[in-house]
Amino acid sequence: MHSCAVRLELYIPAAQSLKSKRAVLRPHVERLRKLASLSVAEVGNHDFWQRASLGVAIVAPDAAQLDSLIERVRRYFDDQVDVELLEVAISYLEEP
C-alpha cells in the first residue's frame, strides 16, 4: 500500500467574500472526492477571500497508481478557469 497527503494552494480571483469563496470551492471539493474516491478538506487560509488550501489524502496499491492519482488531481485544477493552482506539496507516507 502506498499513500500520500497532498496540499494544494489555490487562488480564487473572483471571490469577493468568504461566502463567495466557499461557493467556488464547494463544487471542486465534491468533484475531487468523486474523481477517485479521494478524501478532501479545506485545511488552511480560512480567513482569506481569494486564497484556499486543500488537503487531499490518496491511497493506492502501488507507487505507479499513486503517481497517476496525484497527476489526475493536478490536471483537474489545470483545466479549471475559476481557480488557479499556485503550489502543490506532497508528503509521502511510509508503511510501518
How far is 90 from 6, CA to CA, in rounded Å?
A: 5
Tell me the pLDDT tens digit for each residue of 17-47.
999 999 999 999 999 999 888 999 999 988 8
Tell me the pLDDT tens digit for each residue of 57-71.
999 999 999 999 999
Residue 81: Cβ-neighbour burial (10 angstroms; 0-12, 13-18, 19+) = exposed
The pLDDT > 70 percentage for the chain reads 98
Position 25 scores a pLDDT of 94
- pTM for the full model? 0.88
Helices (H) and strands (E) in the chain, counts: 2, 4
Residue 87 pairs with which residues in a beta bridge? 9
pLDDT higher than threshold 90 for residue 92: yes
